[in-house]
Amino acid sequence: MSFYIGREASKLWKRICAETTTEINLLAENWKYLLAGLVCQYIHGLAARGVHYLHRPGPTLQDVGFFLLPELGQDKAYISETLFAMIFISFVSWTFHPFILKNRKIYTVLIWCRVLAFLVGSQVLRIITFYSTQLPGPNYHCREGSKLATLPRPDSVLEVLLINFPRGVVYGCGDLIFSSHMIFTLVFVLTYQKYGTRRSLKQLGWLLAVVQSLLIVASRKHYTVDVVVAWYTVNLVVFFIDKKLPELPDRSIAAATLLPLSTKDKDSRTKEENHKLLNGNSGDPVDWRQRTQVNGKIMEDGNTLHADSAMNGA
């Protein structure tokens, strides 16, 4: 039993090392895209912090979702954030599963380049939208009478740049249309829909996205319009950006060039190439196709039928 555990642990360690080497190589090639995406996340947070200075509390707007969904109350507002945290952590864990599991289909660095592109595209539209019109926030801390509904004039530029993280993010007001929580949720679900392997998890992801939408409205974090706009905007953004980005490489094909070979693999590949050379075939996969010689000319498989017809006088 201990021998089996030791052997499996050794395999897992080798898999982690090989995957780490591969991801480091990909990171060296794509670090600029990842850095740009992370910088844009900060800019998005900075914009949300800035619009809080412009927010003016007022009467809560009439909303169909508020009529249909009972208010959870301030003491139960954590339910929405808890579900979002579960979705976020689950997706991040899935993007790193190639380091451990055998049935790996994605590269972690490449999938995050793609995810960040989707997030940035959606967040740019979000910033433009909530700066165009500031609505009175429906959240508890954004209503009239709350000290957090408005921010005093900052004493320094540094106070704005630090965005009072994480309190400034949790208790923000004014960045309503459209929901940032739904941007992340839908981008994660759409990404897993395309690159995930378990159908049941895909269906669960869409179900959680719907539940998340209802909880956001029920906890009065957003108006219903914020969630509705997020649903069709994020889907359209992902659809168009996904068409512009290069497709992720197939791991079954790219593994030979990205993953390091062991000594045993190198020896077997060398023997295979020598065998092909002795039989008159080159190491180029293009030359592996069967050929036919007719009248001193070498014909490929696609021309064999035509050559046979010519010999028979047809």
In angstroms, the Cα distances linking 262 to 10, 15, 106 are 14, 12, 22
C-beta separation of 113 from 37 below 8 A? yes
Question: For 137, phi and psi rounded to 5 degrees?
Answer: -65, 135
Any catalytic annotation for residue 44?
A: no
Contact call for residues 289 and 300 (beta carbons, < 8 A): yes
Active-site pick, 44, 52, 55, 181: 181
Contacts of 206 (CB under 8 A, 6+ apart): 189, 193
* Gap between the Cα atoms of 222 and 142, Å rounded: 11
Which of 143-146's residues contact partners 24+ apart within 8 Å by CB, and which partners? Answer: 143/57, 143/60, 144/57, 144/58, 144/59, 145/57, 146/57
Residue 138, token pair as written in the block: 């429906």
Question: Is 222 among the residues known to form the active site?
Answer: yes
Annotated catalytic residue: which of 63, 155, 226, 267? 226
Would residue 300 be called left, alpha or beta, if left means φ above 0 and alpha means ψ between -120 and 50 degrees?
beta
Catalytic, out of 222, 242, 306, 308: 222
Asked about 306 being catalytic, the answer comes back as: no
* Cβ within 8 Å of residue 129, ≥6 positions away: 177, 178, 229
Buried b (16+ CB within 10 A) or exposed e, 100-118: eeeebebbbbbbbbbbbbb
Q: Which amino acid is at 207?
A: L
As annotated, the active-site residues are 181, 222, 226
